[in-house]
Structure 1
């Protein structure tokens, strides 16, 4: 059984709710990633911000990224994640069901990693990867 822990990208750092989008974009560039998890003051996962969110929800609307906080973009919706011990089938189900490209990995209520399509591409048979990409692409976030 392949678990989420075996697939995930380790060393995932949270962006705080009050950090601005300029800082978020800089941290994404430094880490060569397209998304960062956002955590509250309690250290709990509150959401994820993507590079696309910064462009579409801030810059394209004429908002100054230095004036917009991470917490302003994440919304109040449910945050989807998997437990580190979850089987890859659960990971695939969650990503397909919720049409998400990145899935945080939690252990003891703490964020320990994130799984992206690229992480799965390295581990999945081609047919399963194709199904996932197809499911996510119908209306991706």
Structure 2
């Protein structure tokens, strides 16, 4: 059985909710990623910050990324998957919530992230096509 841990990109890093968006952008550049999980002081997942969130939700709105925190950008209920979940559970979680990135948690610790690129490397063409249809569907 292929698990979330098998297909994830390891080494994902939290960004503290109190950290500013300019620092988040620097971390994204350093790690060559487009999203960072946001954590509270107890390292609980409070959201996901994307590069698009920074541009559209902060800069384009006329806000200063040096004064806006990651926590201010966290909206909704954060989604995650257990490291031992099988691929079908990963796909279900991402499809049912129409999300493109999914933090992987093991023993209450962030161990990685699953992105579209990770899925593309581990799914059949049919599975990938079905996933894309569901995630990108507008309803």
The interval holding the TM-score normalised by the smaller chain is over 0.9
1:72-130 superposed Cα distances (whole Å, 9 cap, x missing partner) = 0002x211111100000000000000000001111111111110010010000011101
TM-score under structure 2 length normalisation: 0.96
Q: Which residue of 2 aligns with 1:138?
A: 137
Q: Which residue of 1 aligns with 2:39?
A: 39
Which 4+ runs in 1 deviate beyond 6 A?
none
Q: Which residue of 2 aligns with 1:111?
A: 110
What runs of 5+ residues in structure 2 fail to find an aligned partner?
Answer: none
1:45-77 superposed Cα distances (whole Å, 9 cap, x missing partner) = 1110000000111011011110100000002x2
What runs of 5+ residues in structure 1 fail to find an aligned partner?
Answer: none
Q: Which residue of 1 aligns with 2:99?
A: 100
Q: CA RMSD in A?
A: 0.8
CA distance in 1, matches of 2:6, 2:66: 36
Q: CA deviation at 1:43?
A: 1.2
Q: Which residue of 1 aligns with 2:27?
A: 27
CA distance in 2, matches of 1:136, 1:26: 28
Q: CA deviation at 1:28?
A: 0.4
CA distance in 2, matches of 1:123, 1:63: 39
